[in-house]
Amino acid sequence: MHGKWNCDIIPPPEDLLATRKREERAIDNMDMDVNATHGNTERSLDNDEERPYLLLVKGADSSMTTILNKNNPRNAELWPIFQRELEAMAQQGLRTLVMGQRYLSEREVREWLPSFHEAQCSMHNRMERLHRVYAMLEKEVDLVGTTAVEDRLQDGVPETIKFFLEAEIVVWMLTGDKRETAVTIAGTSGLIDPQFEDCVFHLDVAEASLQFNSVTEAAADTTLWESLQEQIREAVRKCNTSDEIYGSTRTVVLVVDGRTLDIIFTDVTCTREFFEIGIRCRSAVCCRMTPLQKAKVVRMFQKNTSSVALAVGDGANDVSMIQESHIGVGIMGLEGSQAELASDYAIPKFRFLKRLLVVHGRFALYRDAHCITFSLYKNVVLCTGLATYAFFCGFSGMILVESWLLAMFNLFFCSLQPLALGIFDKDVDDELAESTPSLYPALAREHMFFSWSYILKWLCDGVLDGLALFFVISTPWQNGTNYTRTVQLLLKIMERYFS
């Protein structure tokens, strides 16, 4: 296929319909499952009368390179052209794929089908066995063409990410796109500030590691490992230089691919250094990521930073990442409902994530903290009064109040207050919380609403209030007055204050 086709896909996709001479023919098509782990996204076997079987494959250029037919001179001629086109399209923020094909004989397919059916019906390690079976056919593929799809950002994405960064929330972007596409999207969404484009730092040993059969072999190579260590040291110097020039390291953006991350994760010290750099930076862009790699990054981030991680995604490739994180948020969209079903919270648009965090998240923390501390407070007040009365009675066992009143204290007298605090209480207005990023960092940095000092303050208030109530009530008794005069005195005080 020569030339370019530009398709603007708007449902219904009439622009994708190809017209040709009408002729009747029967085509047997067998689709195979997605292999997102290895980057090949779709396969199918077509059967016609002239050539028994045609294998169609499409996937990322990095994965398609390994299965190309090296003996076909046409592939060698087209690949440099494809590379230039893919790079140009990626710089425009388009998501690219490479398409390939291979003709199969009927004997090859008949010999392969039993292995495929056996792997498909396997109860143990089904996906691994399917991947091995797919690899039996995914070889010596000829190039057909490339595709580029514009994945437009939703409304409000740049503004939402800008708010998160100003609120000192560490934002990482995990994507399966190639490096150029990921960097372009990061710039469009606001992760990369155009004023600090010189602060974008790349960690990349992926190309150098392709000569090795596995990540373990690549990590064992001295030259490659020294190159990676030098890049990490250079990233530290980049953060230090940014701190000196701009007064903050929150201008540096770290860009790394999935292959390089796998090599980094083979060493504990290198992993810890990587996440220390990532926390100091404005953001990190992880490209060429498989679903399992996304989940691994989230898991290692939580382990090495001891931070609370929230993962947000909208597709099936994000399910493992969402399930691995402390809090998973799924975006309802056109890519299916897998992410929505696997998440803790589901939102229709990405921009609603800001309100979920800074309004509902803030109020949930505030209300839960006050509900718990008030429950402790009211019982401390009661116990303080009882303990003080026991001291004045010489610990004789005389009760201050009847047992049924003690039972009604939490059941009736103080039952609605914690409920009201947990439902209606708020420290700031919704609009103020949603428009002021500086209000958010203190929640985590200063532990405003739920810390030991905060709980101790409530407990001390409970002790003081309990003592005050006891002595206010017991003073008339100490002066020789009876119960009636005490009640009359309290009624006069109430009448004076409320009349």
Give the C-alpha separation, 275 to 257, whole Å: 14
Q: Is the pLDDT of residue 18 over 70?
A: no
Q: Given this model, what pLDDT does residue 297 score?
A: 94
User: pLDDT-derived band of residue 1, with 50, 70 and 90 as boundaries?
Assistant: very low
**Which pair of structure tokens corresponds to residue 160?**
């939402």
Look-up of token digits 């017209």: 19
C-alpha 98, offset from chain centre: 28
- pLDDT tens for residues 297-356? 999 999 998 888 999 998 888 999 999 999 999 998 766 688 889 999 999 999 999 999
Backbone angles phi, psi at 12, to 5 degrees: -75, 145
Give the C-alpha separation, 468 to 462, whole Å: 10
Q: Give yes or no for a contact between 428 and 156, defined as CB atoms under 8 angstroms apart.
A: no
Give the C-alpha separation, 204 to 261, whole Å: 9
- pLDDT tens for residues 100-111? 999 888 888 888
pTM: 0.73
Pick the range with the lowest mean pLDDT from 41-45, 160-164, 207-211, 223-227: 41-45
From residue 242, give the alpha-carbon distance in Å to each of 183, 188, 231, 281.
Answer: 20, 22, 16, 10
Structural domains for the chain: 14-149 (3.40.1110.10), 157-307 (3.40.50), 357-498 (no CATH)
Number of neighbouring beta carbons within 10 Å of residue 282:
21
- Provide CB contacts within 8 A for 144, sequence distance 6+: 1, 56, 99, 100, 101
Q: Given this model, what pLDDT does residue 15 score?
A: 39
Give the C-alpha separation, 328 to 349, whole Å: 15
Give the C-alpha separation, 52 to 76, whole Å: 26
- Provide CB contacts within 8 A for 137, sequence distance 6+: 55, 102, 104, 108, 112
Q: Which residue has the higher pLDDT, 335 or 427?
A: 427
Written as one letter, the residue type at 402 is E
- pLDDT tens for residues 233-267? 999 888 888 878 777 667 889 999 999 999 999 99
Select from 137, 140, 146 the least CA-distant residue to 79: 146
Q: What is the mean pLDDT of the chain?
A: 82
- pLDDT tens for residues 124-141? 888 888 888 888 888 889
Q: Is the pLDDT of residue 486 over 60?
A: no
- pLDDT tens for residues 386-424? 888 888 777 777 777 777 888 888 888 888 888 888 888
Written as one letter, the residue type at 364 is A
Average pLDDT value for residue range 151-160: 87
